Amino acid sequence: MLRTIRPARTTLVRAVRPVRPVSGRVGRLGRHVTTGTTSSTTSASSPDLSTTLAMAIEQQGPMSVATFMKHCLTNPSGGYYIDKDPLGAKGDFTTSPEISQMFGELVGLWLAAQWLYYGQKQPFRVIEYGPGRGTLMDDSLRALVSAKSTGAKEALKEVLLVEASPVLRDAQRKKLCGAESQFKTEEDGSITCVTKYGVPIRWYEDSKMLDKLASSNDPLHNYIVAHEFFDALPIYQFEKTDKGWRELMVNYGVENKTKESSILLPGQTHIKSSDLDKDKKKTFHLVTAPTWTVASKVIPQSHKRYRDLPEWSKIEVCPDAWDVANQMGRLVAKGGAAFIVDYAVKPGVPVNTLRGIRDHKICSPFEEPGKVDLSADVDFTAIGIASRSKNKENVSAFGPINQATWLKNMGIEMRTEKLMEGKEEYIKKRIESQYKRLVDIGINGMGKIYKAFFLTHSSHGYPVGFPIPEPKDLKEPHQKPEKDPKDTEPKVVEV
Ligand SMILES: C[S@@+](CC[C@H](N)C(=O)[O-])C[C@H]1O[C@@H](n2cnc3c(N)ncnc32)[C@H](O)[C@@H]1O
């Protein structure tokens, strides 16, 4: 989720950090952390999902940020991704594959090269999580099948897409199979069709539907792509107080601007009216749970990365990302590799990064549920750990590295020149500006704020396009034997 946003006429990335009101505590994590209370009023123009969520909270009390996020993005009645195509100039954001065909083409080249060099030419499938309009897959397949001498076209047996949105599934079918093609519904709940290249294609609406495949003896190798998928998965937010971990939850009502622990139980009215927002508008906003919740008891204890943090640390944890990464690890362990690109500015456990994206600008995540895209920074270390948690011997994790580094190593400069050859001047300029946008490593440049991360089968060497470090530059995990093989960081190389 650049997802790119465009404030005024400047192009920005989807994932610029929103400015939040801060209740000003400096956590011992060394960052300025907030009790994050960006809020806004529900609008009369979006009553459906907003009203449902407001009523649920008023009747049952505040809900987890993860529950709120899940409803906002994929609730079948009014979730953001369910009934619209949010990409492009008329939508809310754009992404690298939508900016230039070169992005998808280089992914296709990566798939072919990874398979050719390391996959021992085994029959394989390509899996994409969150394929949007199908643009990345379309450009990738074209590049993959045109690499004729490799034999990849013949070895590609299936394309699998994981897509929650019926509108986007339809757009993907049209793009990948042709406008006249038709879906067929299968007994296992998937829908199928055949691509323009004659390769069978299958859609699953939920990643959980791939679990059976991940644990089966299916012989195909799995080559996986996930571009701006993880940042749309629901996160929990916690703070480590002097009384233990407390969950930050989404409340609806008149916001208490002064108190920190302000969860009203249904029917309770103990907050003084003088403490409440002067405008007395009801809003969705964050509150800190006054006691433990089930999530705050379990999730921060689930890994030493969270357990060992000092008091007053704040964290965002995405159990769904753990689940998907673990699934990817199981698929790659059978043979194959994964290429993941997402938004992540700082290494480490994300803190207070949830943001809304609307009309190519950052906005409050609590503004009009279902009408605003939501995104949170991706924790690549957690993805690496999860992917290897059941497969330490078979799966290696590499990265994250800047998108620009990977694109350049994959030959984007040569591809740009080739595309420009013989074109009219204005087209040349357009291609050049697309190239510049993808590899821009300025402060909010896509080449820098988007990171590439890789999973490979452990029998492979470094992933294609990954800069191979000099031995002296290798970080600690490569040089020292791990002390506790059950609970170690992944084989992450930072360059
Ligand atoms: C930000 S868009 C990225 C689209 C595309 N990868 C691109 O870069 O252009 C996120 C994609 O993930 C899908 N998606 C979001 N949450 C999902 C979920 N929980 N399960 C399956 N698909 C999901 C959306 O419908 C959309 O296709």
CA atoms of 56 and 68, how far apart (whole Å): 11
Question: Which pLDDT belongs to residue 256?
Answer: 75
Q: 434, 439, 322, 307: which is closest to 384 by C-alpha?
A: 322
Q: How confident is the model at residue 260 (pLDDT cuts 50, 70, 90)?
A: very low
What is the CATH number for 459?
A: 3.40.50.150
Q: What is the pLDDT of residues 356-401, one digit of tens each?
A: 999 999 999 999 999 999 999 999 999 999 999 988 889 999 999 9
CA atoms of 291 and 188, how far apart (whole Å): 42
Q: Is the CB of 3 under 6 A from ligand 1?
A: yes
Q: How confident is the model at residue 406 (pLDDT cuts 50, 70, 90)?
A: very high
246/143 same-domain check? no
Residue 352 lies in a domain: no
Question: Which pLDDT belongs to residue 472?
Answer: 59
Residue 132 makes CB contacts below 8 A (sequence gap 6+) with 87, 95, 97, 98, 168, 227, 228
- From 75, 81, 173, mutation site for ligand 1 pocket: most ligand atoms within 8 A of C-beta: 81
What pTM was computed for the model?
0.86
Window from 100-109, 234-243, 255-264 with minimum mean pLDDT: 255-264
Residue 176 lies in a domain: yes
Atom index in ligand 1 nearest the CA of residue 130 equals 12
Domain that residue 148 falls in:
96-233+319-344+379-479
Q: Is the CB of 314 under 6 A from ligand 1?
A: no
Q: Is the CB of 57 under 6 A from ligand 1?
A: no
Residue 11 lies in a domain: no
- DSSP secondary structure of 352-383: S--EEEETTEEE-TTSSTTTSEEE----HHHH
Q: Does pLDDT of 459 surpass 80?
A: yes
Question: Which pLDDT belongs to residue 119?
Answer: 74
Q: Is the CB of 165 under 6 A from ligand 1?
A: yes
For a pLDDT cut of 90, what percent of the chain falls above it? 71
Q: Is the CB of 98 under 6 A from ligand 1?
A: yes
Window from 41-50, 137-146, 259-268, 410-419 with minimum mean pLDDT: 259-268
Q: Which amino acid appears at position 493 of this protein?
A: V
Q: Spell 425-437 as b/e; 16+ CB within 10 A means b.
A: eeebeebeebbeb
Q: At what angle do helices 135-146 and 101-118 cross, to 10 degrees?
A: 50
Look at strands 336-343 and 221-227 and give their pairing.
Answer: parallel
161/148 same-domain check? yes
CA atoms of 161 and 181, how far apart (whole Å): 16
Calculate how far, in angstroms, residue 131's C-alpha sits from the geometric centre of ligand 1. Answer: 6
Question: Which pLDDT belongs to residue 298?
Answer: 97
Residue 362 lies in a domain: no
Q: Which amino acid appears at position 118 of this protein?
A: Y
181/64 same-domain check? no
199/335 same-domain check? yes
Q: Is the CB of 367 under 6 A from ligand 1?
A: no
Q: How confident is the model at residue 59 (pLDDT cuts 50, 70, 90)?
A: very high
Atom index in ligand 1 nearest the CA of residue 205 equals 21
CA atoms of 110 and 192, how far apart (whole Å): 25
State the chain's mean pLDDT as an integer. 84
Q: At what angle do helices 380-388 and 319-333 cross, to 10 degrees?
A: 50
159/134 same-domain check? yes
Which token pair is 465?
């396009």
Residue 351 lies in a domain: no
Question: Which pLDDT belongs to residue 187?
Answer: 92
Q: What is the pLDDT of residues 185-221, one digit of tens each?
A: 999 899 999 999 999 999 999 999 999 998 889 999 9
- From 96, 202, 229, 340, mutation site for ligand 1 pocket: most ligand atoms within 8 A of C-beta: 229
Q: Does pLDDT of 126 surpass 90?
A: yes
Tokens 């960006």 locate to 38
Q: Does pLDDT of 270 surpass 60?
A: no
As to burial, measured by CB atoms within 10 angstroms (0-12 exposed, 13-18 middle, 19+ buried), residue 241 is middle
Q: Is the CB of 339 under 6 A from ligand 1?
A: no
Q: Is the CB of 306 under 6 A from ligand 1?
A: no
The half-sphere exposure of 61 on its side-chain side, counting CA atoms within 13 A, is: 14
Which residue has better confidence, 327 or 88?
327
Q: Is the CB of 95 under 6 A from ligand 1?
A: yes
Residue 364 lies in a domain: no
- From 70, 165, 211, mutation site for ligand 1 pocket: most ligand atoms within 8 A of C-beta: 165
Query: What is the maximum alpha-carbon separation in the chain?
Result: 74
Window from 162-176, 232-246, 254-268 with minimum mean pLDDT: 254-268
Q: Is the CB of 232 under 6 A from ligand 1?
A: yes
405/323 same-domain check? yes
Calculate how far, in angstroms, residue 168's C-alpha sits from the geometric centre of ligand 1. Answer: 9
Window from 94-98, 160-164, 263-267 with minimum mean pLDDT: 263-267
Question: Which pLDDT belongs to residue 94?
Answer: 92
For a pLDDT cut of 70, what percent of the chain falls above it? 81
Calculate how far, in angstroms, residue 231's C-alpha sits from the geometric centre of ligand 1. Answer: 9
Q: Does pLDDT of 231 surpass 90?
A: yes
Atom index in ligand 1 nearest the CA of residue 94 equals 9
151/50 same-domain check? no
Query: Final residue of a domain: which of 269, 298, 317?
Result: 317
Residue 409 makes CB contacts below 8 A (sequence gap 6+) with 465, 466, 467
Residue 198 lies in a domain: yes
Calculate how far, in angstroms, residue 180's C-alpha sits from the geometric centre of ligand 1. Answer: 24
Q: Does pLDDT of 113 surpass 90?
A: yes
Q: 332, 339, 312: which is closest to 244 by C-alpha?
A: 312
Calculate how far, in angstroms, residue 383's C-alpha sits from the geometric centre of ligand 1. Answer: 17
Q: Which run of H or of E encompasses 8?
A: none
Q: Is the CB of 163 under 6 A from ligand 1?
A: yes
Q: Is the CB of 131 under 6 A from ligand 1?
A: yes
Q: Is the CB of 168 under 6 A from ligand 1?
A: yes
Calculate how far, in angstroms, residue 84's C-alpha sits from the geometric centre of ligand 1. Answer: 12
Q: Is the CB of 162 under 6 A from ligand 1?
A: yes
312/399 same-domain check? no
- Of all protein residues, the one whose alpha carbon is nearest to atom 5 of ligand 1 is 132
Number of domains in the chain: 2
206/335 same-domain check? yes
323/313 same-domain check? no
Q: Is the CB of 15 under 6 A from ligand 1?
A: no
Q: Are 403 and 451 in contact (CB under 8 A)?
A: yes
Residue 210 lies in a domain: yes
204/307 same-domain check? no
CA atoms of 206 and 147, how far apart (whole Å): 31
79/108 same-domain check? no
